[in-house]
Amino acid sequence: MSHDSAHLAALEDDTTADTALDHRIAPALEDLVHARPADAFAWLGPHRQREGERRLRVLVPHAQRVEVIGEDGRRWDLHPGPLPGLFEGAAGEAAVPLLALHFEQGVEQVHDAYAFGPLLDEALLQRFHAGDADAARQLGAVPMQVQGIAGVRFAVWAPNARRVAVVGDFNGWDGRRHPMRLRHAAGVWELFLPGVQAGARYKFRIVGADGQVMPDKFDPMARWAELPPATASRVPSAAPMQWHDEGWRAARRQTGAGAPLSIYEVHAGSWQRGDDGAPLDWDALADRLIPYVAGLGFTHIELLPVSEHPFGGSWGYQPLGIYAPTARHGTPHAFARFVDRCHQAGVGVIVDWVSAHFPNDAHGLAGFDGTALYEHADPREGVHADWDTLIYNYGRNEVAAYLIGSALEWVERFHIDGLRVDAVASMLYRDYSRADGEWIPNEQGGRENLQAVAFLRRMNQTLRERFPDVLVIAEESTAWPGVTAPVEEGGLGFTHKWNMGWMHDTLQYLGRDPVHRQHHHSEISFGLVYAFSERFVLPLSHDEVVHGKGALLAKMTGEPAQRLAQLRAYYGFMWAHPGSKLLFMGGEFGQGHEWSHDAVLDWAQAASSEGQGLSRLVRDLNGVLRAEPALHRDERDERGFDWSVADDNRNSVYAFIRRDPAGSGRTLLVVSNFTPVLREGYRVGVPQPGRWTERLNTDSAHYNGGNAGNLGAVQTEPRPMHGHAQSLRLTLPPLSTLYLQVDA
């Protein structure tokens, strides 16, 4: 194989030595004909001879005849060569010869792909090699016009490959037809194919570093994919996406992080399905899901990963096409319409995004060019045994560019409002879920993955500089400091972090018999010790309702009515607790069985009086959250929270004050009773005298509760308590949360 620069220079100068078939070049042509490594551009396409004549050689296996069509319409045949599929003859005067390829099944008219010079700018390739994400986004299949001829520029990073060819619908998946040009400086292979249409399926056929032909590879940069279980990439449409959300985006830029955040987490394939049992497409989801979520008052939909993934049972958490929305629900343009319609309805969209690992499917990134390219070669660094997946090499410039480019793609191309970054803890620690001897310390001898830390900081900084109003939420389950601190202050730069400790402690508490809760009082209150150390999201996510964990409702104790009452009280406590909110689908109506990706939600339960009551509560909680700055303004500001009752373990009662740190709005008192005992005459001190209206009561009959309470309002009495000059004498319904607000 000859990849040296002399060949390319000669080609680009459009002059070569005599290319008549003889013993000097026959081996190279033999290699081309048999799909072995060879410099295709040195031997194929038009070349000017020493005497000035332009000669053309093409390789078209299975063609019966090849004609050149001149600019004046004149046609002439190329002559069959001594090797199968080779044809040569006069090129004509057109810079890019137009060919008529005659096959048994018909005639294909196409411009010669080997008449084009290199297309990717050398400076861009150098930027990609240095880790530039925008440069990375120029790879893949890009529809364009070159010299007035429409086609697709294919480009793929495979620096250690000995040969790469594009195969697809347009060449009969024949690996001999379209070998690519290697751009040595960046290890990128490129080829412009005239006439390829949007929607065409394609892959890369690679001869690896060891000389072996590998399984055909999916394009890492594919913007569109074939419907699984098929595994081909598809050429994207060049048509621009149509957007009608400028008003939404302008409002987002204006409100920024100060806006309330309440997230409805959705697995698009199992929320609802069509009458035929098939997953809904994006347009049908828009028709059904958007008004449903908007009606419940959530500010955002969070989609479990919608990047293309081969195995549906991974719920999208083992993606291979991180630039392409999954074809399970339609085209990329259809996904864009879904996001656009969400924005027009006043609902933001967050996508779950996976940079922690990727699956080892043969058509994917694993050993992409015959070497550990995207992953680490050493399994102690490159393999997640728990998930049977591979770990990105974050310290490699091109890999970091690939990942950051994907994050930018979702935000820029699809107008996504936020990314939830999966499994951040597994990225931060080299010994994550590994025993001694199964991991390699960093260069400082520690367990931290310094390359992953640098990558996350760089990604978050890039997003912050370009899109300061876009959310970047970390699923991070450890005590890593400064996850949401700015990068310039030594933090990781995320906007939010899932509060896994709060979720674990509170669910554990509510799973205990109420008689024993007095001994575990801190499981509810401990979260306030660190609630202001990060900007948290309180997650009741999909992870808590699968794999034998049971539904949220099933985690509660007691009889069915008590379980519902506890869940209502829990939601009331959660929505008033510092931190943004996240609820997985089905939790809004108290689904009784755990979630399965193979089955839709229990919509019969949603239609029951109990389910409707719980849904009304969730709607009203979101309404209060949106309306009251005390519940959403700068949730890292400790001035917005004061304990009133934190230590009444005997009664399992908690009470606290929420206020807007900026001083707007009215103060809220929140009181939770986590026992099935009606408590009358329970006194709580409050900071202001006057009439306190019962703003919300989770035991209200409106929510299918027992309807105990305070008859709508309570007047303060001049009896000091809890550091205040006045107090309220309250009735606390069993298993309830109350919101009381001082009248203006």
- Residue pair 552/593 in contact (Cβ under 8 Å)? The answer is no
Nearest residue to 358 (alpha-carbon basis) of 325, 329, 321, 327: 321
d(CA 584, CA 610): 18
Residue linked to tokens 């970047």: 472
CA distances from 72 to 44, 68, 93, 251, 686 (A): 24, 11, 10, 57, 92
DSSP assigned state of 427:
H
The pLDDT assigned to 257 comes to 66
- Residue pair 428/449 in contact (Cβ under 8 Å)? The answer is yes
User: How many C-beta neighbours within 10 Å does residue 558 have?
Assistant: 14
* Count of alpha carbons within 13 angstroms of residue 470, beta-carbon side: 25
Residue type, 258: G
DSSP assigned state of 211:
S
Average pLDDT, the chain: 94
Average pLDDT rounded to a whole number, residues 42-67: 93
d(CA 534, CA 60): 62
The pLDDT assigned to 25 comes to 55
DSSP assigned state of 4:
-
Alpha helices in 497-559 (DSSP H): 500-510, 522-525, 527-530, 552-555
Average pLDDT rounded to a whole number, residues 29-58: 93
Strand, coil or helix: 326: coil
Q: Pull the structure tokens for residue 86.
A: 């080779």
The pLDDT assigned to 635 comes to 85
- Residue pair 460/494 in contact (Cβ under 8 Å)? The answer is yes
Strand partners, 182: 189
d(CA 89, CA 58): 9
For residue 578, the surrounding DSSP H or E stretch is: none
Residue linked to tokens 């809004």: 588
Bridging pattern class, strands 65-69 and 98-103: antiparallel
d(CA 368, CA 218): 10
Please, what's the b/e burial string for 75-111 (b: 16 or more CB within 10 A of its CB; e: otherwise)? eeebebbeeebbbbbbbbebbbbbbbbbeeeeebebb
475 among known catalytic residues = yes
Strand, coil or helix: 56: strand
pLDDT at 156 over 60: yes
List, for residues 9-36, the tens digit of each pLDDT value: 333 333 333 444 444 457 999 999 999 9
- Residue pair 577/680 in contact (Cβ under 8 Å)? The answer is no
- Residue pair 326/312 in contact (Cβ under 8 Å)? The answer is no
CA distances from 127 to 131, 137, 341, 562 (A): 6, 11, 36, 61
For residue 681, the surrounding DSSP H or E stretch is: strand 679-686
Average pLDDT rounded to a whole number, residues 510-518: 96
d(CA 473, CA 470): 10
Average pLDDT rounded to a whole number, residues 431-455: 95
Cα 725 off chain centre by: 51
The residue annotated as part of the active site, out of 422, 476, 544, 694, is 422
Strand, coil or helix: 126: helix
What are the φ/ψ torsions at residue 252 (nearest 5 degrees)? -65, -40
Provide the total of helices (H) and of strands (E) in the chain, helices listed first: 20, 36
The residue annotated as part of the active site, out of 67, 88, 352, 475, is 475
Q: With bands split at pLDDT 50, 70 and 90, how would you rate the model's confidence at 211?
A: very high
DSSP assigned state of 229:
T
Strand partners, 355: none
**Percentage of the chain surpassing pLDDT 70?**
97
pLDDT at 4 over 60: no
In sequence order, what are the residues at sequence separation of 6 or more whose Cβ sits closer than 8 angstroms to the Cβ of residue 515?
Answer: none
List, for residues 661-710, the tens digit of each pLDDT value: 888 888 999 999 999 999 999 999 999 999 999 999 999 999 999 999 99
> Does the global pTM surpass 0.85?
yes
Residue type, 735: L
List, for residues 473-494, the tens digit of each pLDDT value: 999 999 999 999 999 999 999 9
List, for residues 232-244, the tens digit of each pLDDT value: 999 999 999 999 9
* Count of alpha carbons within 13 angstroms of residue 462, beta-carbon side: 21
d(CA 608, CA 716): 39
710 vs 258 pLDDT, higher one: 710
Strand, coil or helix: 190: strand
Please, what's the b/e burial string for 524-547 (b: 16 or more CB within 10 A of its CB; e: otherwise)? bbebbeebbebbbbbbbbbbbbbe
Average pLDDT rounded to a whole number, residues 708-716: 96
Alpha helices in 114-245 (DSSP H): 122-129, 133-136
Q: Pull the structure tokens for residue 78.
A: 């190329």
pLDDT at 727 over 80: yes
Nearest residue to 171 (alpha-carbon basis) of 204, 220, 218: 204
pLDDT at 273 over 90: yes
The pLDDT assigned to 12 comes to 31
DSSP assigned state of 394:
T
- Residue pair 45/37 in contact (Cβ under 8 Å)? The answer is no
Please, what's the b/e burial string for 463-473 (b: 16 or more CB within 10 A of its CB; e: otherwise)? bbeebebbbbb
**Percentage of the chain surpassing pLDDT 90?**
92
Strand partners, 98: 69, 111
Exposed / middle / buried, residue 516 (Cβ in 10 Å: 0-12, 13-18, 19+): exposed
pLDDT at 195 over 80: yes
pLDDT at 329 over 90: yes
List, for residues 564-587, the tens digit of each pLDDT value: 999 999 999 999 999 999 999 999
Q: With bands split at pLDDT 50, 70 and 90, how would you rate the model's confidence at 146?
A: very high
